[in-house]
C-alpha cells in the first residue's frame, strides 16, 4: 500500500499506508490524523480537508476540477499548492506523497 | 416562554422530516436554525447538486428535496425560528428549557438535535488584527446598505456574494474587488457588468492577491495586498467586506453535557436518545455503531426518536403504531379526511 505522509504546520509528521482507491482525506480520518476535518464527508462542499501539497508533487497529481478550485477559494489561507484531500485518490503513483495541513481548517 | 412537545434544532432534511414524524403522531414542534432559510447543508452547500439516493426519488437537487419536505410538513403549521442559534439547554424536572441567542425561550419534554455538523457561520479573515475592526469597519454580511454610502470599500471573494455586492455598492461608493486568483466563480453576467464598470473607473479589480495587513486604530484606514508576483500595494479603505462563504461550527452543543465522540453525539440506536433523557440526536450529528451519514438514515432515526418523544410528551396515553394509508387519525392530521 502506498505511504502517504501527513505533516502539520508545526512540522510534526505521520506516515501511513493508505489503501489504493481511498482518498488522502479518508486515509487521514480512518487513522485519526489530526488537522483534516472533512465536515461534509467528501462531497466537495466544505473545504475543511484542505492541504498543501509538496511542490514536486503538484504536476504529478491529476489536475483539480473547476469545482475543487472554486471550493479552495473558501479554504483557510489557500496557496498555489492547495488541494482538497478528498479529491486526491490514492494509487501506486502517489507512493511517498507528502501533504501539509494548514494551521486550522476553519 | 413557549410550550411545545418537541424543540427541533436544525432545519435540514432530517429536522424537517422530524416535524412530519412527530406531526402524524399528534405532537407539536418548533424548529430553530441559524441559517435564514430551511434546508441545512442541502440548501447552503449543494442546492444545485443532484442527490441520487433518496428512496423512490431517482434524482433531485438539494433545493428540490427541501421544497418537497416543506410541502410534506405544511399541514402541521410548524413555527420556524430562523437566524437563531440555540445557546443554552437547561433541565426543568421532566422538561427542557431551550434558550436562543435571540432571547426566545421554549419549554418542552423533548429536544431533537438534527444539527448536522453544527451551525453555519461566515468564514472570518485569518489576520489577527481583523477581529478588532469587526462590526465597525469589517463586515461579513451587508445588513444595512446605508452604512456603505460614499466610502472606499474593499470587497474580498470570488463568488456571487462578492460580485453582487460589488455591483450594488458601486452605485454610490468606490469599490475594490479583490480575489486570490484571476478567475471568478460568480455568475458570468454579473462579472461582465463589473468589467464594464472597471473600464469606467467605478470598480477596480485586484487579482491574484491576498490580504497582507490591515492598518488603522479604531477604524480601518488602509489595507495592504500582496500579489502572487511578490509585489505589495497599499489601498485606502474605509470598509472591508469579506465573502469567503460559510463554515460549520458545532458551537454551544458541545457544552450541554451530552456524551460526545469527536464532533458527534452518541445515541442508542433503539430510540436515538442521547446520554440525557428527552434529548435525542439524529442525522449527521449522531453516532452509533454502523452509523452512515446519509439523508435516508436520518429519516429512519427521527421516525424512531418520535416514538419515544410521544411517550414522554403523552405519558398517560398508550402509543399505538399506525400506518398513514389506513389511520383516520393520521389522515385528519394531514388534512386529508
Tens digits of residue pLDDT in B6-17: 999 999 999 999
> Distance from B123 to chain A by nearest Cα, in Å?
7
> Distance from A25 to chain B by nearest Cα, in Å?
16
B183 to A69: CB separation less than 8 angstroms, yes or no: yes
CA atoms of A8 and B319, how far apart (whole Å): 53
Is the pLDDT at B246 greater than 90? The verdict is no
What is the greatest pairwise CA distance in chain B? 74
Per CATH, B2-121+247-333 and B124-244 having the same topology is answered: yes
| A45 vs B45, B158, B244: nearest CB | B45
Which chain B residues have a beta carbon less than 8 Å from that of A30? none
Which chain A residues have a beta carbon less than 8 Å from that of B46? 43, 45
Can you tell me the ipTM of this complex? Answer: 0.75
Is the pLDDT at B321 greater than 90? The verdict is yes
The class of domain B2-121+247-333 in CATH terms is alpha beta
CA A33 vs CA A9, A14, B196: distances in Å: 13, 8, 48
CATH superfamily of A3-100: Beta-grasp domain (3.10.20.30)
Q: Determine the pLDDT at residue B11.
A: 97
3-state secondary structure of B307: helix
Is the pLDDT at A38 greater than 80? The verdict is yes
B187 touches chain A (CB under 8 A): no
Q: Determine the pLDDT at residue A39.
A: 83
CA B54 vs CA A45, B61, B68, B295: distances in Å: 19, 11, 12, 7
Instruction: Decide if B302 contacts B112 (C-beta within 8 A).
Output: yes
Average pLDDT, stretch B259-278? 94
Average pLDDT, stretch B137-164? 92
Please state the pTM of the whole predicted model: 0.78
Query: Residue B335: what are its φ and ψ, rounded to 5°?
Result: 70, 25
What is the greatest pairwise CA distance in chain A? 32
CA atoms of A89 and A19, how far apart (whole Å): 10
Instruction: Decide if B295 contacts B51 (C-beta within 8 A).
Output: yes
Q: Hey, where are the domains in chain B?
A: 2-121+247-333, 124-244
**Residue-averaged pLDDT of chain B:** 94
Residue of chain B nearest A79, judged by CA positions: B180
Bridge partners (DSSP) of residue B205 are: B177
**Is the CATH code 3.30.70.1050 the one for domain B124-244?**
no
B126 to A76: CB separation less than 8 angstroms, yes or no: yes
pLDDT in tens, B57-73: 999 999 999 999 999 99
Is the pLDDT at B101 greater than 90? The verdict is yes
A76 to B179: CB separation less than 8 angstroms, yes or no: no
Joined together, the cell numbers standing for residue B37 give 432559510
Instruction: Decide if B26 contacts B332 (C-beta within 8 A).
Output: no
- The torsion angle over the Cα atoms of residues B189, B193, B198 and B201, rounded to 10 degrees, is -170
Joined together, the cell numbers standing for residue A62 give 491529476
Average pLDDT, stretch B276-288? 97
Average pLDDT, stretch B71-89? 96
Instruction: Decide if B133 contacts B219 (C-beta within 8 A).
Output: yes
CA atoms of B184 and B187, how far apart (whole Å): 8
Average pLDDT, stretch B125-141? 92
Residue of chain A nearest B243, judged by CA positions: A74
Q: Return the closest-CA partner of residue B16 out of B299, B264, B279.
A: B299
Which residues 6+ apart lie within 8 Å of B78 measured at CB? B19, B23, B28, B29, B30, B31
Instruction: Decide if B226 contacts B209 (C-beta within 8 A).
Output: yes
What is the percent of chain A where pLDDT is above 70?
Answer: 100
| A45 vs B46, B126, B244: nearest CB | B46
Higher pLDDT, A71 or B283: B283
CA atoms of B226 and B210, how far apart (whole Å): 5
Average pLDDT, stretch B259-276? 94
Q: Determine the pLDDT at residue B21.
A: 98
Q: Return the closest-CA partner of residue B304 out of B318, B324, B315, B319.
A: B319
B185 to A73: CB separation less than 8 angstroms, yes or no: yes
Question: A40 falls in which pLDDT band (50, 70, 90)?
Answer: confident
Using CB atoms and an 8 Å cut-off, which of residues 53-112 of chain B contact chain A? none
**Residue-averaged pLDDT of chain A:** 92
A73 to B181: CB separation less than 8 angstroms, yes or no: yes
Give residue for cell 447552503.
B44
A76 to B245: CB separation less than 8 angstroms, yes or no: no
Within 13 Å, how many C-alpha atoms sit on residue B253's CB side?
32
Is the pLDDT at B171 greater than 80? The verdict is yes
Q: Determine the pLDDT at residue B318.
A: 95
Q: Hey, where are the domains in chain A?
A: 3-100
pLDDT in tens, B11-57: 999 999 999 999 999 999 999 999 999 999 898 877 888 899 999 99
CA B304 to chain centre: 25
Amino acid at each position: 500500500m502506498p505511504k502517504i505522509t501527513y505533516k502539520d504546520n508545526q512540522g510534526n509528521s505521520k506516515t501511513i499506508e493508505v489503501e489504493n482507491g481511498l482518498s488522502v482525506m479518508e486515509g487521514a480520518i480512518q487513522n485519526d490524523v489530526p488537522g483534516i476535518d472533512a465536515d461534509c464527508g467528501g462531497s466537495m462542499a466544505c473545504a475543511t480537508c484542505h492541504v498543501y501539497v509538496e511542490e514536486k508533487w503538484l504536476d504529478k497529481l491529476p489536475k483539480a476540477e473547476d469545482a475543487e478550485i472554486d471550493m479552495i477559494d473558501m479554504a483557510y489561507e489557500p496557496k498555489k499548492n492547495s488541494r482538497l484531500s478528498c479529491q486526491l485518490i490514492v494509487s501506486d503513483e502517489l507512493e511517498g506523497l507528502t501533504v501539509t495541513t494548514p494551521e486550522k481548517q476553519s | 416562554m413557549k410550550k411545545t412537545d418537541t424543540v427541533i434544532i436544525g432545519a435540514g432534511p432530517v429536522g424537517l422530516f422530524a416535524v412530519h414524524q412527530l406531526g402524524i403522531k399528534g405532537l407539536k414542534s418548533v424548529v430553530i436554525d441559524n441559517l435564514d432559510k430551511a434546508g441545512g447543508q442541502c440548501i447552503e452547500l449543494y442546492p444545485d447538486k443532484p442527490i441520487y439516493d433518496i428512496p423512490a426519488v431517482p434524482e433531485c437537487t438539494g433545493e428540490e428535496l427541501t421544497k418537497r419536505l416543506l410541502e410534506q410538513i405544511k399541514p402541521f403549521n410548524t413555527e420556524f425560528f430562523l437566524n437563531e442559534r440555540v445557546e443554552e439547554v437547561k433541565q426543568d424536572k421532566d422538561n427542557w428549557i431551550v434558550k436562543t441567542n435571540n432571547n426566545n425561550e421554549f419549554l418542552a419534554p423533548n429536544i431533537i438535535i438534527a444539527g448536522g455538523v453544527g451551525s453555519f457561520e461566515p468564514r472570518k479573515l485569518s489576520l489577527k488584527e481583523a477581529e478588532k475592526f469587526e462590526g465597525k469597519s469589517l463586515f461579513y454580511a451587508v445588513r444595512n446598505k446605508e452604512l456603505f454610502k460614499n466610502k472606499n470599500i474593499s470587497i474580498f471573494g470570488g463568488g456571487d456574494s462578492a460580485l453582487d455586492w460589488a455591483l450594488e455598492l458601486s452605485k454610490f461608493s468606490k469599490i475594490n474587488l479583490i480575489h486570490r486568483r484571476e478567475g471568478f466563480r460568480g455568475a458570468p453576467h454579473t462579472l461582465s457588468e463589473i468589467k464594464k464598470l472597471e473600464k469606467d473607473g467605478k470598480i477596480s479589480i485586484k487579482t491574484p492577491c491576498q490580504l497582507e495587513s490591515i492598518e488603522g486604530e479604531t477604524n480601518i484606514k488602509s489595507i495592504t495586498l500582496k500579489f502572487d508576483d511578490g509585489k505589495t500595494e497599499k489601498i485606502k479603505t474605509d470598509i472591508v467586506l469579506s465573502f469567503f462563504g460559510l463554515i460549520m461550527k458545532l458551537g454551544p452543543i458541545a457544552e450541554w453535557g451530552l456524551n460526545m465522540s469527536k464532533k458527534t453525539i452518541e445515541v442508542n440506536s433503539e430510540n436515538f436518545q442521547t446520554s440525557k433523557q428527552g434529548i435525542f440526536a439524529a442525522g449527521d450529528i449522531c453516532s452509533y455503531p454502523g452509523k452512515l451519514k446519509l439523508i435516508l438514515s436520518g429519516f429512519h432515526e427521527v421516525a424512531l426518536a418520535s416514538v419515544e418523544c410521544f411517550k414522554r410528551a403523552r405519558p398517560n396515553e398508550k402509543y399505538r403504531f399506525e400506518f398513514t394509508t389506513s389511520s383516520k387519525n393520521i389522515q385528519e392530521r394531514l388534512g386529508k379526511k
